[in-house]
C-alpha cells in the first residue's frame, strides 16, 4: 500500500541542488493495492519532536495520524487512505519547547480560499495545446519584448482566471503587447500585500480560481502568441503563524540571528541563503512554475535585498558575511544555481531581476562570473527619465543628462525599461499626473514619454492603466477607470500606444541588436538648449529608424540633424498625429538627405519636430 520517498531526491534536497523537491515533499496521491486512493504527506521539519497530519479527515486531531521520520533527512512522512481530494489539512508540529504549532504545507499545490489551511490535492493533468508556441521560444534577446504588467484582481475587478483568459488576452493581443506579467499569483494571506508576502510557494492563489483555471489562462495566452511572466518573491516571506516562520519551532527557513532574518521596513522574514535546503525549496518553486504551469519567465522581486545583507538596514542592524563584507554570498550562489537550472530547460525561459543597485554582471553568464539573469530592470533609467519629465520644460535644459546618461551604461547588461506599479502608488501620482502643464500638455508629454521609452535600447514594460492615461494612482481594491476611454484624449493615447506597439514589434531596428552600439547611433545627444534628442536604431540587415524627440512646447519647424548616409527618410510614426490627440500640424513629407556636413556626419536632413513630440523616420539608402 505504501509508496515511499525517493532517497536520491531527499539527498539532492539536503545538498541544495534539488529542482523538483515538490515531487517528493507535500501531498501526493497514488492508487493502493486494493484500488483505493492513498495520499502520502511529507514535510521537512528536522527540529520537531513529533509531527502529525491533521485535517477534515480526522477532525483535526493531532493524535490521530502521526508521521514518522525518514532516516536522518529531517523529513517526516505519513500515508493516509481516508483523506479525500479537496479536504483541508495542516501539519501539527511538536516543538522542542513542548508547544504544538499548526502549519500549512509549504509544498501544497492548493490552499484554502480565505483561510490558512492547505488542501488535499494533486496538480491537475492539464491538456496543454501550446506546443507550437513553445517551439518558437528561441533567441529572445533579438525579438521584441513588450510587457503589460497586471494585477489580476484590479485590471477588471471580480474576474476569474478563466474570465481573464478571454477578456485580458483579447485586450493584450489588440494592444500589441508580447507578454503579460502578473504580480504574484503564489498564495498569500493579505490582500494589501499585493502578493509580495507569500505563504504558498507552490500554490496558485485561490482568489481567482483553481490551478487548472490558471493553466487554462496561460494556455490561452500561448495560443494567441502571448508570453506569460509571473512576479516571484524568493527574498522574504510573511510572518503569519501558518507560514514558514519558525516552521518547526526553530528558525528553519530564516536565519537564527534577527540581524539576518528580519526585514523591518516590510515586516517580513528573510530567507536564509546559507541553508542548502532553502536553496532546494526555492529552486524547486521556480522550476515548478516554469515547468508545470508553462510560465515563460519569472520576475524575481527584491534582488537587491537578497544580494546585500545591509539592504534597508542601519549600522548595527545587519550581520556581515564571513569575510566582513555586506554581500550575501549564499544568495549569490543561489542565483547561479537558478540560472543553471533555467538553462537546462528544453525551451528558453526568461528570468528578470528587479535590481536597483550597480551590482556587476547581473545578466552575464555564470561561466563568465555573472549571476545569469536574462534581463535586469533598468531602475536608473526609470528614475532619471521620470524626474526629468516631472520638471517644468523651462528647467529641462539644465538637466539634459538625465536623458542621455543611461546610454553610458545601456549595454553593460540586458535591460528592461520599466514603468511598473511601484511608480503609480503611495503618493507618487499616475504617469499622466506626473506630467506638468495644462490638460493638452500632460497628454502630449505622456505620449512623448512612451515614444521615448520604445525607441530607447532595452525591452519594455508598462503597468496596466498607463496605456490610456489613468488619472489617479493605482488602487489595490478597485478596477482601473475604464470609463475614461469615453473621453477622447484617453482613447487617443491608447490608440497611440497600440500603434506604437505594433510599429515596435514589426520593425527590426527597434528591437534587434538591442544590447550593443551596433544597434544604436547618437545623432543629436547634446542639444540641451532645445531639450531635443535624436538617434538611429539599426539592425544587422541594414535597416534603420531615426528617432527624434522634442521635450519642450516650442515646435522646431526646421530642425537640422546630421546623418551618416545619403538616402531618404519617411515619417512612420508621430506622437503629434491628430488621431492621437496631437496638433497634426507638423507632418513631415519624404525627406532627402543633403550633402552638407553636420555634427561629424557627411550629410544632414531638416525635419519638423512638433511640440512635446516624438517622431520615428524609416530610412532608405540611396
- Catalytic residues, by residue number, are 301, 354
Maximal C-alpha separation, the chain: 91
Cα gap 37→51, rounded to integer Å: 22
C-alpha cell belonging to residue 277: 535546503
CB atoms within 10 A of CB 240: 17
Report the distance separating Cα 67 and Cα 1, nearest Å.
16
Name the nearest CA neighbour of 261 among 304, 322, 305, 200.
Answer: 305
Rg (CA), the chain: 27
Cell of 353: 531581476
Scan for cell 540560472, then name that residue.
Answer: 339
CA separation for the pair 384, 404 (Å, rounded): 9
The whole-angstrom separation of Cα 538 and Cα 179 is 24
Pairing of strands 567-574, 613-621: antiparallel
CB 352 within 8 A of CB 377: yes
Q: What burial class does residue 278 get, using C-beta atoms within 10 Å of its C-beta: 0-12 exposed, 13-18 middle, 19+ buried?
A: buried
Assess contact for 362 and 300: CB atoms under 8 A: no
Say which residue the cell 566582513 belongs to. Answer: 324
Separation between Cα atoms, residue 434 and residue 209, nearest integer Å? 36
For the purposes of burial, counting CB atoms within 10 Å of the CB of 291, is it exposed (0-12), middle (13-18) or buried (19 or more)? Answer: middle
Amino acid at each position: 500500500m505504501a509508496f515511499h520517498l525517493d532517497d536520491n531526491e531527499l539527498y539532492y534536497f539536503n545538498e541544495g541542488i534539488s529542482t523538483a523537491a515538490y515531487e517528493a515533499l507535500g501531498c501526493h496521491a497514488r492508487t493502493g493495492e486494493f484500488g483505493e486512493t492513498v495520499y502520502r504527506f511529507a514535510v521537512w521539519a528536522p527540529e520537531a519532536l513529533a509531527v502529525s497530519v491533521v485535517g477534515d479527515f480526522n477532525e483535526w486531531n493531532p493524535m490521530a495520524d502521526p508521521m514518522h521520520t525518514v532516516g536522518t533527512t529531517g523529513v517526516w512522512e505519513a500515508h493516509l487512505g481516508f483523506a479525500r481530494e479537496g479536504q483541508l489539512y495542516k501539519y501539527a508540529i511538536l516543538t522542542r519547547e513542548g508547544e504544538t504549532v499548526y502549519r500549512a504545507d509549504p509544498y501544497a499545490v492548493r490552499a484554502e480560499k480565505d483561510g490558512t489551511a492547505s488542501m488535499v490535492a494533486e496538480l491537475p493533468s492539464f491538456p496543454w495545446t501550446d506546443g507550437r508556441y513553445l517551439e518558437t521560444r528561441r533567441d529572445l534577446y533579438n525579438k521584441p519584448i513588450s510587457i503589460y504588467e497586471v494585477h489580476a484582481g484590479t485590471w477588471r475587478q471580480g474576474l476569474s482566471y478563466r474570465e481573464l483568459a478571454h477578456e485580458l488576452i483579447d485586450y493584450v493581443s489588440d494592444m500589441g503587447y508580447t507578454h503579460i506579467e502578473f504580480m504574484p499569483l503564489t498564495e498569500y494571506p493579505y490582500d494589501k500585500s499585493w502578493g509580495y508576502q507569500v505563504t504558498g510557494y507552490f500554490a496558485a492563489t485561490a482568489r481567482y480560481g483553481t490551478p487548472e483555471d490558471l493553466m487554462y489562462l496561460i494556455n490561452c495566452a500561448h495560443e494567441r502568441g502571448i508570453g506569460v511572466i509571473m512576479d516571484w518573491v524568493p527574498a522574504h516571506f510573511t510572518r503569519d503563524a501558518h507560514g514558514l516562520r519558525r516552521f518547526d519551532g526553530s528558525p528553519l527557513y530564516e536565519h537564527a540571528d534577527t540581524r539576518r532574518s528580519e526585514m523591518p521596513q516590510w515586516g517580513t522574514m528573510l530567507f536564509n541563503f546559507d541553508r542548502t535546503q532553502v536553496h532546494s525549496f526555492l529552486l524547486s518553486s521556480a522550476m515548478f512554475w516554469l515547468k508545470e504551469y508553462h510560465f515563460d519567465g519569472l520576475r524575481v522581486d527584491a534582488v537587491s535585498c537578497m544580494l546585500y545583507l545591509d539592504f534597508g538596514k542601519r549600522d548595527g542592524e545587519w550581520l556581515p558575511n564571513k569575510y566582513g563584507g555586506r554581500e550575501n554570498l549564499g544568495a549569490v550562489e543561489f542565483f547561479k544555481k537558478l540560472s543553471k537550472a533555467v538553462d537546462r530547460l528544453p525551451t528558453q525561459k526568461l528570468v528578470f531581476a528587479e535590481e536597483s543597485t550597480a551590482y556587476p554582471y547581473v545578466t552575464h553568464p555564470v561561466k563568465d562570473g555573472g549571476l545569469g539573469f536574462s534581463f535586469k530592470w533598468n531602475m536608473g533609467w526609470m528614475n532619471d527619465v521620470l524626474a526629468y519629465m516631472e520638471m517644468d520644460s523651462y528647467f529641462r535644459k539644465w538637466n539634459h543628462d538625465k536623458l542621455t546618461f543611461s546610454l553610458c551604461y545601456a549595454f553593460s547588461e540586458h535591460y528592461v525599461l520599466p514603468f511598473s506599479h511601484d511608480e503609480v502608488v503611495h503618493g507618487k501620482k499616475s504617469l499622466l499626473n506626473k506630467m506638468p502643464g495644462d490638460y493638452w500638455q500632460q497628454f502630449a508629454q505622456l505620449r512623448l514619454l512612451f515614444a521615448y521609452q520604445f525607441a530607447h535600447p532595452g525591452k519594455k514594460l508598462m503597468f496596466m492603466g498607463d496605456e490610456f492615461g489613468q488619472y489617479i494612482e493605482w488602487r489595490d481594491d478597485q478596477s482601473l477607470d475604464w470609463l475614461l476611454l469615453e473621453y477622447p484624449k484617453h482613447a487617443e493615447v491608447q490608440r497611440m500606444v497600440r500603434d506604437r506597439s505594433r510599429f515596435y514589434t514589426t520593425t527590426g531596428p527597434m528591437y534587434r541588436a538591442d544590447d550593443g552600439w551596433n544597434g544604436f547611433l547618437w545623432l543629436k545627444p547634446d542639444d540641451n538648449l532645445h531639450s531635443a534628442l535624436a538617434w538611429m536604431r539599426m539592425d544587422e540587415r541594414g535597416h534603420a529608424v531615426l528617432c527624434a524627440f522634442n521635450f519642450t512646447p516650442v515646435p522646431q519647424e526646421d530642425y537640422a540633424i546630421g546623418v551618416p548616409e545619403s538616402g531618404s527618410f519617411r515619417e512612420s510614426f508621430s506622437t503629434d498625429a491628430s488621431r492621437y490627440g496631437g496638433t497634426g500640424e507638423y507632418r513631415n513629407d519624404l525627406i532627402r538627405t543633403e550633402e552638407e556636413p553636420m555634427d561629424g556626419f557627411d550629410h544632414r536632413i531638416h525635419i519638423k519636430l512638433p511640440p512635446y513630440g516624438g517622431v520615428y523616420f524609416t530610412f532608405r539608402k540611396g
